[in-house]
Copies of this chain bind each other. A is one copy, B any other.
Amino acid sequence: MSLNTFIQSSDELSVHSLSNQPLRLELGQRSYNIHIGRNLLDQTELLAPWVSGRLAVIVTNSTVAPLYAQRLHNTLLAAGGEAVVQVVLPDGEQYKDWQHLQLIFDAMLQANCDRKTVVLALGGGVVGDMAGFAAASFMRGVDFIQIPTTLLSQVDSSVGGKTGINHPLGKNMIGAFYQPRMVLADLSTLDTLPNRELSCGLAEIIKHGAICDVAYLHQTIADISAIFARNEYALYRAVRRSCEIKALVVGQDEKESGIRAILNFGHTFGHAIEVGMGYGAWLHGEAVGCGMLIAAELCQRLGRLSKQEQALLHQAVEAVGLPVQVPALGLERYLSLMALDKKSTGGQIQYVLLNGLGAADVAAVPNAVVAEVLQAMGVT
């Protein structure tokens, strides 16, 4: 189940392509453009087709609102929006729950929103997931647009239509597959992004390389300092390549009945860390980075990954500033948390496993083997 044959090189990047060539996620009637570039927040012509004559709801959080909400608000009005409503959520994975989703519905009903209303997610993965699920569910579905402002959401969560909220017993357990009408990845918003959040985005970038494009993994390792320096070409290259990979995978398997599952590499372990530590203690990208290292150890023990490949992945995760020490939740707790993950079917836990760097598939692994791996990583 490798994607290598489907994926073309993005070597021919030019300054021109930096602003003018959107990617397209092909899903029949639900196809949409992914625009990547600087200062897209100000481009009325991109937004006008979706907001002209309509009520627009900006869903954002208390960190992003003071930075970018008014700017987007002005653009929406200039694009012909009838009126703009802002819903500002508290910032953090621990607020990705029903109570806070309800705040979006309350605000939309109080503002007399209707089926023609358009919802815009302005923020990171949590905002995108919540705004998307709100748009999917409000009056059984209204249009929505993703405007990701973190590297993680630009390279991963804003593309592909996974929306939802957490449940105390499991991450993203309640939600919908609901595609946005457009994604605007404004690279200039990364100027204000804390480095800790940049590292989280790099976790998903490393994942994309590891599962289907080893050249991209090497490129990423070479680009790390340029990315942290907010070099626009390095950022563009990463966001573009990751979105290409995501769009190709999702275009083949929107609802994750097959190949899309490889995008969950590191996530079964990562979700256990996030839930086990308490939502918000570890950022999602941190948990995924560490989860990939556990998964790599598993792959190495199963003879699917050489020690050199495992070391390269470890080096990449460490070099981008992600934690590499597996948190001590206890072995039993890990196993029970993972049994609840969505990759579990019929009582068997399914793992995304590498076949060397650059290829991946999904298989069940006996709990005893997983327990050995966790013990080898210091979990007792």
Find residues 290-314 in chain A having any chain B CB closer than 8 Å to their own CB.
none
Q: Which residues of B contact A102 (CB under 8 A)?
A: 98
Find residues 237-262 in chain A having any chain B CB closer than 8 Å to their own CB.
255
A179 CB to closest chain B CB (Å) equals: 12
CA A112 – CA B173 in complex, angstroms? 12
Contact indicator B141/A255 (Cβ below 8 Å)? yes
What residue in chain B is nearest A165 (Cβ atoms)? B137
A177 contacts B by Cβ under 8 Å: yes
Interface string of A146-179 (1 = CB under 8 A from B): 0000000000000000111001011011111100
Find residues 317-350 in chain A having any chain B CB closer than 8 Å to their own CB.
339-340, 342, 344-347
A14 contacts B by Cβ under 8 Å: no
* Interchain CB contact (< 8 A) of A167 among B105, B163, B170, B340: B105
Contact indicator B98/A345 (Cβ below 8 Å)? no
Interface residues on A, range: 35 or more
Contact indicator A140/B175 (Cβ below 8 Å)? yes
Q: Given A98-B102, A110-B169, A170-B109, A140 and B116 touching (CB < 8 A)?
A: no
Q: A138, A140, A163: which has the most chain B beta carbons within 10 Å?
A: A140
State the copy count for this chain. 2
CA A110 – CA B98 in complex, angstroms? 18
CA A102 – CA B105 in complex, angstroms? 17
Contact indicator A137/B170 (Cβ below 8 Å)? no
A115 contacts B by Cβ under 8 Å: yes
What residue in chain B is nearest A54 (Cβ atoms)? B346
* Interchain CB contact (< 8 A) of A345 among B116, B174, B255, B347: B116
Contact indicator B342/A115 (Cβ below 8 Å)? yes
Contact indicator A141/B173 (Cβ below 8 Å)? no
CA A141 – CA B175 in complex, angstroms? 8
Contact indicator B346/A116 (Cβ below 8 Å)? yes
Interface string of A92-109 (1 = CB under 8 A from B): 000000100010011001
A341 CB to closest chain B CB (Å) equals: 9
Q: Which residues of B contact A162 (CB under 8 A)?
A: 140
Q: Which residues of B contact A176 (CB under 8 A)?
A: 136-137, 140-141, 176
A128 CB to closest chain B CB (Å) equals: 15
A55 CB to closest chain B CB (Å) equals: 9
Q: Which residues of B contact A98 (CB under 8 A)?
A: 98, 102
Contact indicator A115/B177 (Cβ below 8 Å)? no
Q: Which residues of B contact A116 (CB under 8 A)?
A: 345-346
Q: Which residues of B contact A112 (CB under 8 A)?
A: 339-340, 344, 347
Contact indicator A139/B173 (Cβ below 8 Å)? yes
What residue in chain B is nearest A55 (Cβ atoms)? B346
Contact indicator B115/A345 (Cβ below 8 Å)? yes
CA A317 – CA B13 in complex, angstroms? 69
Q: Which residues of A contact B (CB under 8 A)?
A: 53-54, 98, 102, 105-106, 109-110, 112, 114-116, 136-141, 162-164, 167, 169-170, 172-177, 255, 339-340, 342, 344-347
A and B contact pairs by CB, cutoff 8 A, 18 listed: A53-B346, A98-B102, A109-B170, A112-B339, A112-B347, A114-B342, A114-B345, A114-B347, A115-B345, A116-B345, A137-B137, A137-B175, A138-B174, A140-B164, A140-B176, A140-B177, A141-B176, A176-B176
